[in-house]
Structure 1
Amino acid sequence: MKKILIIGSSGGNLFNLGGASPRKLLDEILIQIKAAELEAEDLLFVTAGESMDTANDHTRASIYRLEKHQPVEIFNGNLKDANIEASKVDSYLADRIRNNEVDGIIAMSVDPEGTNLHTIKAAIETNIPIVGTGGTSMAMITSKGGNVIASSGTTGTTNRTRAVSFISCLCKHWDIKYNPQIGGSGHKEEIASGNVFKNINIRGIMISSLPGFIAMALVLALSKIPALEGLGEVTDLLLKALPVMMAVIAAKQVSELDEVSILSGVIAGVLSVNGGIIGGIIGGIGAGILVHYLFGKCIQWRFPMTTVNIVAGGISGLISGLIVFYFIGPVALKAGNLIKEIIELAVSFNPVLAGTVAGLLIWPAILGGVYHAAILPIVLLEMEKTGNSFLGAVDMVGLVMVSAGITLANILSPRDKGEAAVATPGFMINMGFGTFVEAAYPFMFSNKAVFIGAVLSAGLGGAMVGFFDVRGTAYVPSFTAPFMSNNPIGFIIAMAVPLLSALIITLIANKRATNKKKRDEATHNSPLKLESY
């Protein structure tokens, strides 16, 4: 039986997609480990009371370990002390790896140069397979020589999809048969007794909804083909469905009651359509709150389970949806339109300037944790109206194409031989899927010239977006992105320019770094010349 070590933290973006509820996140992984007939050997998970993007030393934090095959909180205090305690466990886990007590690692938003330093070092020494999420951390592990067999960012994932992906990759690596467990733990009474308001997370709701917006954008692009003009009606229908989708996701995330909350979200979403996606989110949150409390009350009153589902799922969605329909919907629609009008006003005033500023700021935004909190929601609001987005196009050219250019340069002319192997997967994912811009981080952080070049190239790409008045989206294969935009030719140029710019700047920076290294080595190895007197 293969033995798995689980390490990580509640993370930055992961916090919004499961990390804020560590027991639920870890339970899902343990369920899938058991389904694969593997064994969870040990666990070290540090969780904070807020996203690691904004957390500080004084943020409340906990440490979870594995006891009797269950995640147990062993420490509760501030984040600084939690990291100190976790570092002590880190050395112990490293010894277990070196003693061949661990066969594989699941890593989620780990700290390879801090809290998890010794564990990762031991994993690299023993070459055991590593799977995980967290673009920055997984890129660092790969660059250090870790045997990473699968990695990704967290956008668009759930606890279950992550857990199934982790175990699927490990089982495939070990040639083990695995049938995912799709059922939950079923502790409904325990779930219904918690604090529902802590589950309200607008950013998490909007990020989880991204695939629906991409589907709509794809249908919109196909409808532009003369033979497929009839798909225009499908696009209109999908636009109306977006608030329903948002309401379902909101209700499910808030209530944590799966099918019951989905039903409630559908009812609330249908009644919230006239409020746009903001109305849908409000309706879904209201439905999730009502589901949570009505479910708990019905259980306490010992209603039959069928009646519990009818009351919790049906009545909660109806009440929330009617409130949005009659009172909140018109205001929510105006708020959404106002945000979109502000973007359009800035673009119409000076599109090149607007694009340049957006491009220059997009790398600092994603590094500072602002991207998922502010930029992506605005992209979705823009897409609700037109099916594509000005900021979505800047995302593609300023992040995805720049990351692709940096990684391509390190494939063609790396500073060290091992960097090409690190850069290749990142380049392929960026070009093939329009995501995983974190692949450029190791090269940006290790060379200031590359970092500055990335920011400048993104600004140049944003200027091209403004110049050609492009509306588009990321998170799709790069070769399809232009055809999902309002200006395919302009988008192709806007994508090519920052890619080439980042490529050239990185090639030059790598060449200078290589030459400097050679000069330093030559100076270090040259024999001493003794002066004659």
Structure 2
Amino acid sequence: MKTIAILGSSGGNLFNLGGKDPEKLIGEIIAQTGGADAAIGAVQFIAASESMDTAKDATPAALYGWDLDKRGIKKLFEGTLKETNEAAAALDAEIAESIQAGRIDGLIVMSADPEGANRQSVAAAAGRKLPVVGTGGTSMAQIAAKGANVISVSGTTGTTNRTRAVSFVQSLCKFWGLKYYPVLGGAPASGAAAPGSPWRKISLKGIMQASLPGFIAMAIVLALSQIPALKGLSEVFDLMLKALPVVLAVIAAKQVSDLDEVSIVAGVIAGALSVEGGIIGGIAGGIGAGLLVRYLFVQCVKWRFPMTTVNIVAGGIAGLISGLVMYYLLAPLALEIGEWIKEMINLAISFNPIVAGAIAGLLIWPAIIGGVYHAAILPIVLLEMEKTGNSFLGAVDMVGLVMVSAGITLANIVAPRDKGEAAVAAPGFLINMGFGTFVEAAYPFMFSNKTVFAGAIVSGGVGGALVGLFNVRGTAYVPSFMGPLLSNNVAGFAASMAVALVLAFIITVIANKAARVKARGQADIAA
């Protein structure tokens, strides 16, 4: 196992690119050593409260060192920058001694001071010809001038903590002849079969759930645009509609590649070129960008490109390639798939909206309990919202799930089987009504009483039938009082919501009363 020492400071330009947060900056380097047969053996890092380009002797600063037991950095000293530099000299001497004793095999240097705080360590590394990698134009030039074996120098512009850390560890491992797999998203990324393979990180469910706030924002704008004084917002709605594929592409790219700002840039580029493919096009473009970002990033690091160039190639070129493929080849197909799915839903609704709503309402509780909801129903809801800003299944969600859960929890506040259940039910009721989510609050009462469970399904079916009767299009995940305002039928949606809540409430109260009577009867028999 090779041992690495980290030397340096929060720097000038580096300060604004991660240097002001030593824990994250050095933590990323520590994480990357997990992808190689290497470990951190020493740290000497001076963190100032402002960029070193403007810092003075009196600027507050802190000295960080290595905690061998916790395998992380710890604050050793805090004072002015001048005092911190003086305190760093003692740690510098200790690290220099470790280098001379052969306990350190390489250096990672960031905005170091080879003439002051890092003088002894740099001299010792030069004497033993240890490989040195790092950032900081002036300091790295000075280190090289002192005879150190500088094998890789990178700028900080356009880089992130992760991309710099990968570059550092990759360069050192290549020098030592060690295998190294960049740790992206928590596991080494070594290829298709690796634990960290980007293919395994693709999750349509995750992409859809993360993008939901964008769809809700669009629904709010649509509702506001119906107010005569705010008609101008209809143009904003049209603009947001075009932006949705970009949102999905960014989320998809970041999910797959997990390279922070680099993947975000790639996702934006790919998403902008995938707009004509709708939300399916945005997802496909973002996934393609994420896969390419990861591949190009690793390859460019292996080819020892400067880190700024690596980010440009990985973020810019990956997004461009994926986006152009979508723009010229796949966008029409993606749009057609989305339209086909929406037409199938509309066909079922137009055939018999009441039956369609009832079936959706009856099945929605089994779907969410069985884990099908977020994987199948939510994507369809978002596809519907892409076109109209609200959704038939979104309305069934609010009525059949949220309002039914609210009815069940309200019943257990007003007439619980025992007093303790009221305290459990109250937070769930408030969240359902206040935020339009957390339907799981009804689970304890549904799973412990078959009548309540059946009542939930029946109430969902009745509510869904009313959604079909009134031809409602709406959404969940918003406060209950806002639900009708964001729908195409305020009165119809409000009536559907009220009926589902009251029906679930009544059935649960009856079930609770029967359970209490049964419990008292059993107690009398036992007595």
Pairwise mapping of residues 2-21 of structure 1 onto structure 2 (< 5 A)?
none
Cα distance, 1:454 vs structure 2 = 0.2
* TM alignment of 1:472-511, pairs within 5 A: 472-511=474-513
Note the 1:141-290 alignment, pairs <5 A. 188=166, 189-191=182-184, 193=190, 194-290=196-292
Match of 1:362 in 2: 364
What is the distance in 2 between the residues matched to 1:233 and 1:241? 13
Deviation at 1:185?
10
Shift of 1:187: 5.2
Residue aligned with 1:209, SS = helix
The 1:510–1:186 alpha-carbon spacing in structure 2 relative to 1, beyond 3 Å, is farther
Taking the aligned partners of 1:197 and 1:70, their CA distance within structure 2 comes to: 31
Alignment CA distance shift 1:70-1:381 (3 Å): farther
Partner of 2:429: 427
Kindly report the root-mean-square deviation, in angstroms, between the aligned alpha carbons of the 2 structures: 2.2
Match of 2:15 in 1: none
Which residue in 2 is equivalent to 1:446? Answer: 448
Who is 2:348 aligned against? 346
Q: Give the structure 1 partner of residue 301 of structure 2.
A: 299
For 1:492, the aligned partner's letter is A
State the match for 1:128 in structure 2: none
User: In the TM superposition, what is the alpha-carbon distance from 1:305 to its structure 2 partner?
Assistant: 1.2
SS at match of 1:297: helix
- Listed one character per residue, the Cα deviations across residues 55-87 of structure 1 (whole Å, up to 9, x for unaligned) are xxxxxxxxxxxx96589xxxxxxxxxxxxxxxx
**Which deviations, in whole Å up to 9, do the C-alpha atoms of 1:373-420 show, x marking residues without a partner?**
100000000000000000000000000000000000000001111100
What residue number does 1:44 align with?
none
**Separation in 1 of the partners of 2:434 and 2:418?**
25
Query: What is the CA–CA distance in structure 2 between the aligned matches of 1:513 and 1:288, rounded to whole Å?
Result: 54
Partner of 1:388: 390
Q: Give the whole-Å Cα distance in 1 for the aligned partners of 2:234 and 2:361.
A: 31
Amino acid at match of 1:357: I
Change in 2 beyond 3 A, CA 1:68/1:490 = farther
| CA-CA distance at 1:184 after TM superposition | 7.3
Letter paired with 2:435 = F
Preserved contact between residue 162 and residue 259 of structure 2 (Cα < 8 Å): no
Query: Which residue of structure 2 aligns with residue 378 of structure 1?
Result: 380
Show structure 1 runs of 5+ residues with no match. 1-26, 32-66, 72-181, 526-533
CA distance in 2, matches of 1:339, 1:204: 20
TM value normalised by structure 2: 0.65
Q: Is the contact between residue 225 and residue 233 of structure 2 (CA under 8 Å) also seen in structure 1?
A: yes
User: In the TM superposition, what is the alpha-carbon distance from 1:186 to its structure 2 partner?
Assistant: 7.3
Deviation at 1:190, TM superposition (A): 2.5
One-letter amino acid matched to 2:208: M
Q: Is the 8 A contact 2:163 2:259 kept in 1?
A: no
Deviations 1:37-70 (A, max 9, x none): xxxxxxxxxxxxxxxxxxxxxxxxxxxxxx9658
- How far is 1:346 from its partner? 0.3
Misfit runs of 4+, over 6 Å: 182-186
1:318-355 Cα deviation digits (max 9, x unpaired) = 00000000000000000000000000000000000000
Once the two structures are superposed, residues 153-177 of structure 1 have per-residue CA deviations (whole angstroms, 9 ceiling, x without a partner) of: xxxxxxxxxxxxxxxxxxxxxxxxx
- What are the superposed Cα offsets for residues 176-227 of structure 1, whole Å, 9 maximum, x if unpaired? xxxxxx9879754322544221111112111111111001001111111111
Q: Distance in 2 between matches of 1:70 and 1:457?
A: 55
AA aligned to 2:214 is: G
Change (3 A) 1:268 1:340: same
Tell me whether 1:457 sits opposite 2:465 in the alignment: no
Residues of 1 paired with 2:69 and 2:489: CA distance? 58
What amino acid is the match of 1:211?
Answer: P
Letter paired with 2:489 = N
Amino acid at match of 2:383: L
Residues 374 and 187 from structure 1, CA distance in 2 versus in 1: closer, same or farther, beyond 3 angstroms?
farther
Residue 523 of structure 1: how far off its partner (Å): 1.9
Alignment partners' CA distance in 2, 1:334 and 1:462: 28
Determine if contact 2:266/2:316 at 8 Å carries over to the other structure.
Answer: yes
SS in 2 for 1:247: helix
The structure-2 alpha-carbon separation of the partners of 1:406 and 1:186, relative to structure 1 and needing over 3 Å to count, comes to farther
Separation of aligned partners in 2, 1:488 and 1:461: 15
Question: Any idea what the Cα deviations from partners look like across 1:251-310, whole Å, max 9, x if unmatched?
Answer: 000001010000000000000000000001111011000000100011111111111111
Counterpart pick for 1:408 among 407, 410, 413: 410
* Amino acid corresponding to residue 519 of structure 1 in structure 2: G
Tell me the TM-score normalized by structure 1: 0.64
Query: Over residues 396-455 of structure 1, what are the superposed CA-to-partner deviations in whole Å (9 max), with x where a residue is unaligned?
Result: 000000000000000000111110000000000000000000000000000000000000
For residues 427 and 369 of structure 1, what CA distance do their matches in structure 2 show?
22
Please report how far the alpha carbon of residue 518 of structure 1 lies from its aligned counterpart in structure 2 after TM superposition.
1.1
For the residue of structure 2 that corresponds to 1:450, the secondary structure is: helix
2:218 touches 2:389 (CA, 8 Å); kept in 1?
yes
Give distance in 2, aligned partners of 1:281 and 1:407.
Answer: 37
Taking a change above 3 Å as real, the CA distance of residues 359 and 321 of structure 1, as seen in their structure-2 partners, is: same
Partner Cα separation in structure 1 for residue 223 and residue 483 of structure 2: 9
- The alignment status of 1:321 with 2:314, answered yes or no, reads no
| Partner Cα separation in structure 2 for residue 485 and residue 70 of structure 1 | 54
State the one-letter code of the partner of 1:408: L
Go from structure 1 to structure 2 and tell me whether the alpha carbon gap of 1:428 and 1:183 turns closer, same or farther (over 3 Å shift).
farther
C-alpha distance after superposition, 1:75-127 (max 9, x if no partner): xxxxxxxxxxxxxxxxxxxxxxxxxxxxxxxxxxxxxxxxxxxxxxxxxxxxx
Distance 1:482 1:187, change over 3 A: farther
When residues 394 and 70 of structure 1 are mapped into structure 2, their CA distance, relative to the original with a 3 A threshold, is farther
